Amino acid sequence: MAEIVYGFGSSHGPLLSTAPEKWDLRAQADMENPAHPFRGEFYNYEELKELRKDENLGAQNQLSVREGRHARNQKHMDALAEKVAEVDPDIIVVVGDDQHEWFQDDIQPTFTVFHGDEVINTALDQEKVKTMQPGLAISMRANHPDVDHAYPVPSALSRAIIEQAIEDEFDIATSSEHPTNEKGLIGVGHAVGFIYRRILHDKPVPVVPILLNTFFPPNQPTPRRCYKFGQSIGRAIQGWNGDKKVAICASGGISHFVIDEDFDNRMLKAMIERDEDAIFNEPNAMFRSGTSETKNWITVAGILSQTSLEMDLLDYVPCYRTEAGTGNAMAFATWT
Q: How many helices (H) and strands (E) does the chain have?
A: 11, 15
247: β partners:
6, 92
82: how many CB neighbours lie within 10 A of its CB?
Answer: 11
Q: CA-CA distances (angstroms) from residue 110 to 22, 180, 216?
A: 35, 20, 9
189 binds Fe ion (CB under 5 A): no
Nearer to Fe ion, 25 or 237 (CB): 25
Q: How far is the CB of 92 from Fe ion (least distance, A)?
A: 18
Q: How far is the CB of 15 from Fe ion (least distance, A)?
A: 11
Q: How far is the CB of 196 from Fe ion (least distance, A)?
A: 14
C-alpha to C-alpha distance for 325 and 16, rounded to whole angstroms: 17
- What are the backbone angles phi and psi of residue 302, rounded to the nearest 5°? -65, -45
Length of the chain: 336
| 264 half-sphere exposure, CB direction, 13 A CA radius | 26
Nearer to Fe ion, 206 or 252 (CB): 252
3-state DSSP helix/strand/coil percent for the chain, to nearest 5?
45, 25, 35
Nearer to Fe ion, 154 or 252 (CB): 252
Nearer to Fe ion, 143 or 158 (CB): 143
Closest CA to 212 of 152, 293, 115, 328: 293
Nearer to Fe ion, 84 or 211 (CB): 211
Q: How far is the CB of 172 from Fe ion (least distance, A)?
A: 21
Q: How far is the CB of 133 from Fe ion (least distance, A)?
A: 16
C-alpha to C-alpha distance for 53 and 55, rounded to whole angstroms: 5
Nearer to Fe ion, 89 or 252 (CB): 252
Q: How far is the CB of 11 from Fe ion (least distance, A)?
A: 8
14 binds Fe ion (CB under 5 A): no
Q: Tell me the number of residues near Fe ion by CB under 5 A.
A: 1
Window 199-218: residues binding Fe ion (CB under 5 A) = none
Q: How far is the CB of 235 from Fe ion (least distance, A)?
A: 27
Q: How far is the CB of 315 from Fe ion (least distance, A)?
A: 19
Nearer to Fe ion, 87 or 186 (CB): 186
**In the complex, residue closest to Fe ion by CB:** 252
Among 7, 9, 20, 252, interactor with Fe ion by CB under 5 A: 252
**Judged by CB under 5 A, which stretch of 64-72, 117-125, 203-211, 244-252 contacts Fe ion?**
244-252
Angle at 334 between CA 115 and CA 16, to 5 degrees: 85
Q: CA-CA distances (angstroms) from residue 72 to 78, 141, 160, 333?
A: 10, 21, 38, 13
In the complex, the residues that contact Fe ion under the rule CB under 5 A are 252
